[in-house]
Amino acid sequence: MRHTPALAAAGLVSMLALTACSGGADKAAAEQPPAQQLAAARAVLEKSPAVTFTLESAGLPGKAVGVSGAKGTGLFTPPSFQGTLNASIKGVTGTVEVVAVEKDVYMKFFTPTFNKIDPATYGAPNPAQLFNKDTGITALITKTQSPAKASTVRDGADVLNTFTGKLPGDAVADLLVIGDRKGTFDVTYGVTQTGKELRSVVIKGPFYAGATSTYTLHLTSLAKAVAITRP
């Protein structure tokens, strides 16, 4: 079958139109206000069946009491966490096993079994509440002041678009239990270019008197849910 010049021209025009529409849509998404892009990235992450979670710290004073690191798995529904915390408790620093479901927190600390605790007693947050959609990590986005698009960075195999902003001290202290409530913290969010998912949250500021410290939170979606139950 032979194609006439008119048909060929019409096909070319159609292809160009489709390409223009696609490019226009991508450009429009990229030009959304930073707050809107962050809200969308938050929504994508919160739909995850489960997430791997790590918490790292830097610049903590030597006698800091509380959590310096964490590693485990979290669920948004219901808010839950299972993993380990690196913490200073009653003058002893070590790694403890933790299971938290909603408001209930259980810990192994020099004991063969889990014991129910109040994490605030140890200067630590309830790790399950970090995954509370209304008040947890992702909710910090709604409290971020002056969000702005920043640089592009690599995170392993992923490329992240970063966004910077400011967080009031009370928002940080409410979430992590520590921090100057009257202070201001710098926050940087990392959003994957592919998938547009919130991947990292870096908070820097006056967590402890006389020091500027940094907490870095990494979250990565899992394809399947993980069962986290009270021990």
pLDDT in tens, 97-107: 999 999 999 99
Residue at 215: amino acid letter: Y
Record the tokens describing residue 213, joined without a space: 């410290």
For residue 209, give every residue at least 6 positions away whose Cβ sits within 8 Å of its Cβ, in sequence order, or none: 180
Confidence band, pLDDT 50/70/90 cuts, at residue 10: very low
Phi, psi dihedral angles at 182 (to 5 degrees): -95, 0
For residue 151, give every residue at least 6 positions away whose Cβ sits within 8 Å of its Cβ, in sequence order, or none: 162
Task: Spell out where 48-183 has E strands.
Answer: 50-58, 66-76, 79-89, 92-101, 104-108, 115-117, 145-155, 158-168
Average pLDDT over residues 155-159: 92
Check residue 121 and give its pLDDT: 81
193/28 Cα distance (integer angstroms): 14
DSSP codes joined into one string, 172-224: HHHHHS-S-TTSEEEEEEEEETTT--EEEEEEEE-SSTT--EEEEEEEEEESS
Which CATH code fits 34-222?
2.50.20.20
164-206 pLDDT, tens per residue?
A: 999 999 999 999 999 999 999 999 999 999 999 999 999 999 9
Short-list 95, 89, 140, 91, CA closest to 118: 89
Ranges of each domain in the chain:
34-222
Between the two ends of the chain, the Cα-to-Cα distance in Å is 71
Count of CA atoms in the C-beta half-sphere (13 A) of 220: 11
Q: Is the separation of the CB atoms in 71 and 51 below 8 Å?
A: no
User: Residue 191 CA to chain centroid, in angstroms?
Assistant: 10
Check residue 22 and give its pLDDT: 44
* Residue 113 or residue 22, greater confidence: 113
Confidence band, pLDDT 50/70/90 cuts, at residue 87: confident
Q: Is the separation of the CB atoms in 162 and 150 below 8 Å?
A: yes
Distances in Å between the Cα of 175 and the Cα atoms of 22, 36, 110, 125, 230 are 40, 22, 27, 7, 22
Residue at 189: amino acid letter: Y
